[in-house]
Amino acid sequence: MTLTWDELSSHEALREEHEQRALQDRGYGPANYKAKLRLFDAPPDTKPRITFYHDHNVWCPFCETLWLYLEEKRIPYKAVTVNKEPHGKEGGSSPEELNYWRMGASGVPGFQIDGGKLHSGADLMTIEAEFRENPLIPVYANEPAAERWHEMEELSEAFNWCGFLRQNIRGPVLDSNPYKQFAQKMDRLDQALQSHGGPWLCGERFTILDVQAARDGGRAAGLLPYFKGVKVRRNPRWPHIEKWFVAMEGRPSFKAISGDFYTHFSATPLQVPFLCGPKHPDSDKISAMMDGSDGVSWTLPLPEDDGTLLEPINSLGVSSSQARAEAAERVIHNHRGLVGFAARGVKDAHAKEAGSRDPEYAKTYGKQVPPTQSGAEVCTTNLGPKYGGKDELVAAPEVTSDILLRHTVSVLLNGPSEKAKAAVAADRLSAGDSKAMLSYVRDRISVPRDMSGPAARQLRAHLNWVIAAVEGADVHTSTTSARPIDSARSVCAC
């Protein structure tokens, strides 16, 4: 019998995750997208001087820069998520959001100091001048970092992927002029990092330049392999750039804030389709590994990172068991919203449409990007009344998705087994509907909005395992024949 949500939540493997969430709710612990308060080492009664406004989905690269900067400075701040439209797509905006637009904001991010003037998120020097702790610019003119500043500021623009990515390249990518121009800039950056010993752009000193480069570097590493077949990470041509990436991944702030490759190449075409250009045939093999369509990369057992994985995970320092526990806790915490979200896979017509939802991009390049990333959050609580609602599960798709998600969490916590397969088979679920719902969730897991990259990797693979287990049971009943759930036992409030 499928375990209830209460039983799953009480699993010993989740103790640390529950403790961490409790810390985050009080403003402490590691960074988290949903945290409304960050106090760092300040006492609990501290009133933050900074209010930080950022996008709901954490797709905005400039929001990432300001967020990473505040985390590195360790300045207490209050965080407010903002719909990019004044009234949002998933429900009405909060009073704080509406006030943000009334202050004259033209977009995100933004910040206020002591409730005063609204500043652009790019105005980091205003914060640097006001808050002298943990300086992220060279303090003295004779510092080695100061001497290298202007050179490295220019060279770090090598990560600017836009010009290369938008090109419609004919013939082999590596023979094209756009690639050669990109590679020459990367060569110069790599050589400069080698000459001063790194690991940071200005040498031994971590600076704002590293914060800003993280924004473009992470996206270049995810977008260029998928669309053009060009590896940025673990490319032997740029070993010192790889050392910079590894050093960044050793910083707690970056671990919590950086997106994964899948999120970058899925979400970016939805935001700036005119920058992504067509997908080149040279990327087909690599892109299949990145979006799981190779049948291996998102399948259990997941390959270990022996130094050759396309997307490195070793330097993040997260074990497989920790990643599984994180994924399980995120699903459990918002299971009621997620049950309704998964049901979209069979209820909504657009769920079956793959590719970009931008008509101009689709018209020009075809539906070549992954299934649409939803504006709703997979494992948080911004789903709106349409997909949340009553605790009692009434509609047949929600009944089925509830069972499927509990099986998924059970396998995350206890491991795949013949016993788990038998439990799945006993529920006599529709293979078609199960695949539609779980793949709908799988393809919309976003990092760091929903969870960390290692946790997302585990959840995608475990969702696929449950899909295969249902298909393996060879039972093709309709959703309406799914075994009813005792809602009093199986549904708990988030």
pLDDT score at 313: 94
Distance (Å, whole) CA 323 – CA 37: 24
Query: Which has more confidence, 15 or 373?
Result: 15
Query: Which has more confidence, 148 or 142?
Result: 148
* CA dihedral over 21, 252, 215, 353, signed as positive or negative: negative
Structure confidence at residue 278 as a pLDDT band (50, 70, 90): confident
Question: What value does the mean pLDDT take over residues 463-480?
Answer: 75
pLDDT score at 85: 56
Residues 6+ apart with CB under 8 A from 70: 38, 50, 52, 77, 127
Distance (Å, whole) CA 480 – CA 396: 5
Mean pLDDT of the chain: 85
The CATH number of 319-490 is 1.10.490
**Whats the size of the chain, residue-wise?**
494
Q: Is the pLDDT of residue 384 over 70?
A: no
Q: pLDDT of 181-204, one tens digit each?
A: 999 999 999 999 999 998 999 999
Indicate the class that CATH gives domain 31-130.
alpha beta
Structure confidence at residue 92 as a pLDDT band (50, 70, 90): low
Task: Spell out the domain ranges in the chain.
Answer: 31-130, 144-290, 319-490
pLDDT score at 33: 85
Put simply, whether the predicted model's pTM sits higher than 0.85 gets the answer yes
pLDDT score at 474: 57
Question: Helices 431-442 and 335-347 sit at what angle, rounded to 10 degrees?
Answer: 120
**Which CATH number fits the domain 144-290, given the four candidates 3.40.50.1820, 1.20.1050.10, 1.10.1660.10, 1.10.645.10?**
1.20.1050.10
* CA dihedral over 7, 492, 97, 78, signed as positive or negative: negative
- Please give the single-letter amino acid code of residue 47: K
Query: Which has more confidence, 378 or 18?
Result: 18
Q: pLDDT of 323-374, one tens digit each?
A: 999 999 999 998 888 888 888 788 764 555 544 445 555 566 555 444 444 4
Query: Which has more confidence, 393 or 126?
Result: 126
Share of the chain above pLDDT 90, in %: 68
Q: Is the pLDDT of residue 89 over 80?
A: no
pLDDT score at 141: 82
Q: Is the pLDDT of residue 475 over 70?
A: no
Direct distance between the N- and C-terminal alpha carbons of the chain, in angstroms, rounded to an integer: 23
pLDDT score at 426: 94
pLDDT score at 53: 95
pLDDT score at 46: 97
Q: pLDDT of 289-323, one tens digit each?
A: 999 999 999 999 999 999 999 999 999 999 999 99
